Structure formats: C-alpha cells, structure tokens
Structure 1
Amino acid sequence: MEVRKIKKVIKRAGAFAYSTFNKKSGFEKHIPILYYHSIGKSLNREGLRVDTDEFEKQIKYLVENYIVVHLDEIANLVKSSKNAHKYAAVTFDDGYKDNFDVAYPILKKYNCPATIFIASGFVKKEVEFTEGGEKLIPLELNDIKSMNDDLVRFEAHTHTHISLNEITLDEVTYELERSVKEIEQMCGRKPTHFAYPNGAINKDILKRVEDVGFKSAYATFMSTEVKCEDLFCIPRVMIDMDDTLKDAVCKIEGAYNYLGKMQKGKTDL
C-alpha cells in the first residue's frame, strides 16, 4: 500500500475516535472552510488534484447543508458572537487554469460562492509551478476577468508563493504588498483576505499580514472550529484526491479537527 494511503487510513481512524467523543455543537464556532488546489480527471501524485465528479458531489453536499458565503461574511462571523454553525466557504489556492475550465462551471451550476487565492507571480508567468516534472498551468487574465463576478472573488497568496518563514520580515511585507498591487490591477478590486503559502505562519508573520491591511488570513490547520482570536489564522479543511464524499463530509462536520489542534500546537501561535 502507498505511504499516502497508509497515512489516510490512520487519519480516518483518528477522525472516527475524535468524532465519537467530540460533537460540533460544543465548538465555539463551527465554520467549515474548504480549500482545494486543482480540479480535474488527471490525478497528480501529490494528491492535490481532486476528481471532477467528487468535487461536484462535495459542492452539492455543501450547498444543500450550509449557507455558503464569501470571506467578508466569514470574517464578520469570526469576530461576532453570532451562531455560525450553518455557514461555510469554498476556497482554492494558487490559481490553476482548471479552476476556470473545470471548477467554475460546477460552482455556477450550484450557485456556490468561492474565493481563489492567487499567487500573482504564477498567474503572470513570472514564476513556474511544476509537479513530477510537469509544468502546471496558471489561470489566464481572461479567465480571471470572466470569473470576476459576484460568485467568484480573488484574494492574495503572495507574489512568488514562497514560504514566508524562509524570508526576512521586510521581504514578507514586499511579498504581501506586491500581491495586493498585482491582483488589484488584474481584477479592479483590492484583495482584503490572505492565505499563507504552504501554511507557513508564526506570530511575526501574522502581525505583518495584519499591518498590511488585510481583514483576515487563512491557515492550513485542518479544523472547522474557529475562535474569535483566530481572525488572522483561520483554519481550513483541505480536500485531496483520496477523499470520497464520505471522507469530505467527515472533514466538513469536524471529525478531523484533532489534526488542526496538533498542527497549530507545533507553531508559536
């Protein structure tokens, strides 16, 4: 059995145990924020490309069971005392071509709002992403203009997609400000939400993100449990190629939150 699949079995066992003893009604706020990368039929070896049919099933489940909203509303929910147990969001990281070609028609079919966190240098073809020797294809400017409506919004994911803990704080500020400038030029709208590339985050980076003027920021901690103090490290639920609808539903309903607690515990947050 592949190592990835062995890890999947272990995580499923942990999710079953966690969900047996923890109910989402006990969470301060239960807000599933799904995040994807690539959608399509050709599955890559890293598990980041979700099958088209599975993606549609997941979106259908989400819109039938939750009120799917944009990130402005999520930020307001995190800050407020409002019961948030029926709200959710859909996000994509990086800005791949198939987000337009494959995911967008499904989002339109179900009238499901979504956010694409763009690595602006990737979309402008100033940096390349490769996978297994294959050059990955970014969104075209025309794709962005076609999707730039009430359904899909574009937010920041740095310019070069570098892990922010690998550079100086001044360089962090440059990456943030450059991405804001580039995305505003592409979309005619200033991005106000941010996602940390590779989930790289610490207190100093978080403070820089806040100082640049973002309203909220999104981490990669696997959890649906959100607290008021999490505004600049809001957890998300990653959906990968091995997730059946049952797996995705378990993640959406909070069964994998134990992973988020472990992941956040390894940081200084």
Structure 2
Amino acid sequence: RVSSLEAILEVAPPCDSEETPVCLRALTWEQAAEMASTGLIELGGHTHEHPILSRCTEEEMRDEIETGRELITQRTGRAPQLFAYPNGGAEDFTTTVQTAVANAGYTAGFSVINGFAQRDQNAFSIPRYGAPESLTLAEATVSGAFETLKEWRTRSARKAATV
C-alpha cells in the first residue's frame, strides 16, 4: 500500500513533490472541494489506499471502502455516490465486493471492462470506456462503432468455426 511504501522507502510519491510539474501533480483536497461545490461533477470513491478489493479480507474491504468515502465526504462536504473499483477487471470486484460497496452507501460501481451499460445492468457492475486519445476515437466509441465491429468479428469467427 502507498503509506507502507512511503514508510519503507522514506520518500513521498512523486505526485506530491514540488519538483513534479503542475500538470502531473495529484489534485489537492482544496481543488477537489472547489470542483465538488459546483455541482457540475461527481467525485466518486475508489478506496483509501488502492488495494485490489477481491484480495482483501471482508474487514479490510469494508475499512478501505468506508474510509475512502468518509475522507471524501469530510474534505469536500459531499458524500460520493459512485465508486470505481481499483484495477476494475472482472476478477477485481466479486459479488462480495459489490455488496460491500452498496452497504457503504454508494449507488453504483464502475469497472474498466469495455462496454456500454444496459438498461437492466447491475448497478454495481457497470462497464465503461477509458478516455480516448482523440476526438475521432471518442466519436467512434460513443457511436457504438467499436462494439458493432467487435460483434461482427465474433459472428464471423463463429461462422468460420462452423464451416
């Protein structure tokens, strides 16, 4: 965990250093509170020290989820409603993890599994896409073009396998 590494290595993460370029520094709590106060964005939860929750005991999991939520609430004045699973792969958020996130007061949980949310989607297993590097890729992503291509490839592969 981050705090353990800081103690062992006796160094602060580079994102907290004055030597780090401003554009690469972590958001400050003051900046987070200012952003949250606008009501234009939602600052979501993620955990306190970024462990892979499926590898934690239930007690560690609860502590990580709840401590992270409490800190955001205290520092910004707004309780986060949305949660992003650390790593976010299918193996990183079990049903036990999803239940712990719901029990902590969150209304939804997001993975990093590519896909669009469906109307009947489990609110604690929502797929998403990362931010594309260009406007063209962003347009292709939100239009569903990549999902359509993936579906065509899957159908073609199945068809070829039956021939």
* TM-score, L = length of structure 1: 0.44
Q: Which amino acid aligns with 1:204?
A: T
Q: Contact 1:196 / 1:218 at 8 angstroms: preserved in 2?
A: yes
Q: For 2:145 and 2:117, locate their aligned partners in 1 and report how far apart those are by CA, in whole Å.
A: 11
The alpha carbon displacement at 1:182 in A equals: 0.4
Normalized per residue, which structure has more strand? Answer: 1
**Aligned with residue 135 of structure 2, among 215, 225, 245:** 245
The gaps in structure 1 that reach 5 residues or longer are: 1-120, 263-269
Q: For 1:255 and 1:224, locate their aligned partners in 2 and report how far apart those are by CA, in whole Å.
A: 12
Q: For 2:33 and 2:103, locate their aligned partners in 1 and report how far apart those are by CA, in whole Å.
A: 29
Number of aligned residues: 133
Q: How does 1:76-91 map to 2 (within 5 A)?
A: none
Report the counterpart of residue 30 of structure 1 in structure 2. Answer: none
What is the SS of the residue equivalent to 1:154?
A: coil
Q: Contact 2:84 / 2:110 at 8 angstroms: preserved in 1?
A: yes
**Aligned with residue 181 of structure 1, among 54, 70, 92:** 70
Report Cα offsets for 1:192-247 as digits up to 9, x if no partner: 2111011021222112112222111111111124242321111111124xx33222
Q: Which amino acid aligns with 2:99?
A: K
The alpha carbon displacement at 1:249 in A equals: 1.2
What is the SS of the residue equivalent to 2:138?
A: helix
What is the SS of the residue equivalent to 1:184?
A: helix
Report the counterpart of residue 206 of structure 1 in structure 2. Answer: 98
The alpha carbon displacement at 1:139 in A equals: 0.9
The alpha carbon displacement at 1:152 in A equals: 2.2
Larger relative contact order (Cα-Cα within 8 Å, sequence gap ≥ 6)? 1
**Do residues 232 (structure 1) and 127 (structure 2) align?**
no
Q: For 1:250 and 1:152, locate their aligned partners in 2 and report how far apart those are by CA, in whole Å.
A: 24
Inter-CA distance 145–210: structure 2 relative to 1 (3 Å threshold): closer
The gaps in structure 2 that reach 5 residues or longer are: 155-163
Report Cα offsets for 1:8-44 as digits up to 9, x if no partner: xxxxxxxxxxxxxxxxxxxxxxxxxxxxxxxxxxxxx
Inter-CA distance 129–175: structure 2 relative to 1 (3 Å threshold): farther
Q: Which amino acid aligns with 2:86?
A: P
Q: Contact 1:218 / 1:235 at 8 angstroms: preserved in 2?
A: yes
Report Cα offsets for 1:152-196 as digits up to 9, x if no partner: 231211111221122112211111110111011111111121110
Report the counterpart of residue 159 of structure 2 in structure 1. Answer: none
Percent of residue pairs bearing the same amino acid type: 26
Report the counterpart of residue 153 of structure 1 in structure 2. Answer: 42
Normalized per residue, which structure has more helix? Answer: 2
Report the counterpart of residue 137 of structure 1 in structure 2. Answer: 25
Task: List 4+ stretches of structure 1 deviating above 4 A.
Answer: none
Q: How does 1:93-132 map to 2 (within 5 A)?
A: 128=13
Q: How does 1:19-34 map to 2 (within 5 A)?
A: none
* TM-score, L = length of structure 2: 0.69
